[in-house]
Structure 1
Amino acid sequence: MASSLPSRHRALVLEKIGAGFEVKTVPTPQAEAGSAIVRVLSAGVLSYHREIYYGQRHYDFPKPIVGGISAIARIAAVGPDAVALHPGQLVFADCVIRARDDPDSLFLTAIHEGMNERSKKLMRDVWRDGTFAEYAKVPLENCIALDEARLCKELGYTAHDLMYLYLLLVPYGGLRDIRLEPGETVIVCPATGGFGGAGVQVAVAMGARVIAMGRSEKELARLQQYVKKGTPGASVETVRLTGDLDADTSALQPFGPVDAVIDLTPPFASKSTHLKSAIRTLRRGGRVSMMGFVEDVIHWNVMALNITLKGKLMYEREDMVLFVKMLERGLFPKGKDFVDAKTFKLEEWEEALEVAAEYAGIGKVVVIEP
């Protein structure tokens, strides 16, 4: 099934790392079995997209490539095997692409080609391009249907607001993986970046008591105020990181014993001791979701208290479906209490990448609007 697709459309094309994007007119992809063509409404811009496309982060992917990750989009056409999705439908188009005959072979759209030859082949030959474009081709299973009447008319979200999903889903995948329960206490560390701030919001929506760790007192105060304004009655405490293992442990102990920790450390902070401090406050049988880049976390407590350390990359499709149900049930704040989006056109891609590198934290998202 298809609506009328233009023969060509505009997209941001990267010919080589460091060269920058060009706005080009390219052929519009066609729907085949297992795929959908979406008209992109709002495409997320990562805080480290600039580092990827200019080469500071050495992520491999084929070139030329259309940049971008996940998007809020509208179905424009579907392959003949689609039975639930249809043209006109609002969807979240997800960036985690998995091989259908080998789910362990996965990659992130226009970011990284994955860890084995199978994922590299899948990206190179089938699902190369991202969502910095007017139209994009995505797997059917990566299109998560959104109840537009509920989300946009009743709850008042815009497409730009809904793009915050791509940040919220990452910590949700980690917290669900370690089975965070309502009423439990969870440490989010560090909590002042984009994924960490989103993790605080997600943990609150899941009914947890949150201890947010970060180096910036100003950003921690904003985080606490932001959550309590949007979710009155939310339990959010903050602890400023000093970089001293014992001092940070002492600052956390009044909130313990803690049930769980989620770590979202960026690569540049990989030698930080904050995760060790958090682990020291866990109760017997506590759990840790390791979604970041901390190098050294082993501590006597891990063995002595039967602590579970679980690595997690992104999230599963079921996580996305359940998260959207939470959003549709009104468990998150609405309007400006939910997110403040900065939007850019395709031609403004350079400014979008620059702004995204600085505009990170709870309730902040940068998007490109093709």
Structure 2
Amino acid sequence: MSDRNALIADFLAGAGLAEARRDPLPGDASTRRYERLTTPAGSTLMLMDQPPATESLPCDPSWTAAQRHAAGWNAVARLSAGRIEAFAAVAAHLRHAGLSAPEIVAVDAPNGLAVIEDFGDDLFARVIEDGEPQAPLYLAAVEAIARLHLTGLLPEVMPGLGGDWPLLTYDAIALQGGADLFVEWMPKLHPGLHFGPAARDEWQAAWAPVVAMGEARAWVMAHRDYHAENLLWLPDRSGHRRVGLIDFQDAVLAHPVWDLHSLLQDARRDVPPELEAVALDYYFDIMQVDREEYRRDYAALAALNEARILGVFARLIARDGKPRYRQFMPRMWGHLEQNLKRPELSQVRSWFDRHVPKEMRG
């Protein structure tokens, strides 16, 4: 038995789960893995296994820009580095807000282990593939976002079973750093592309108004990875509680549209434009906000996020040898091209027209 397996066995024994059957689940792009635990009585739980040493440090709230860049990508982007205590603290906040986040059964934060409630396998993407009408699921997901946005004053530090965790702002450094993944990694996927110092300066200048807006209007908690592969359908519950939330450990203070565009301009599946429009109107009706302002911000931050995701996919393919992410890139290019039609994004659109040939956008 490896040291890690022995550690997990001891942790499960301490949680009263020594006799549980362990069934690994398929992995994703992260360094985290899951196992389904089935007790002798037939009930199930989930083991979350995230070794802390596998990632660079998360962002200390006191760090300067230079310190964040020196510490690595997690600090720049204000990612949690997969820390179990982040998951547990955000879960506690979400549950307090009346949302369906998993109950935390046991935690060993220093060793990156947790046992959590099992929401089953009914991911939105899978139940839609199996024939479930998608509009009720998406509108329930919008209800859950609105519920989160209506929770009032947010804490600077969230307590949880694994310890306290700060709620940081998705600030200009993180937003621009995300966009910059495109100019850093796309040339490594397409050697014909080259972005010299002047092009990179123009890139940052083009995005500057979007970045400033995103930071200035960051006032709600954003799940940050809110899409059909991270939401579970819980039909036995009611209203927004039918939406089971997972993978929220990177939550930050962000603009209210952030989770909306993650949900409705999904990298992995097509959301019909008419459903996107209905879902946005549903959110606007619940929140009573300035529709045109929010549509403008929605398109701008969605475009920035799509540039970021294209850079992430290029990195996964070129550096990590994961070619399956290539299949999602045409969809992201399509969303990006559509958003760049907005007049306020003309400077960004001009940059793409000058530096990225049409045949490489797809």
Which of the pair is proportionally richer in helix?
Answer: 2
User: Shorter chain as normaliser: what TM range?
Assistant: under 0.3
The structure with the greater share of residues assigned to strand is 1
What TM-score, normalized by structure 1, do the two folds share? 0.25
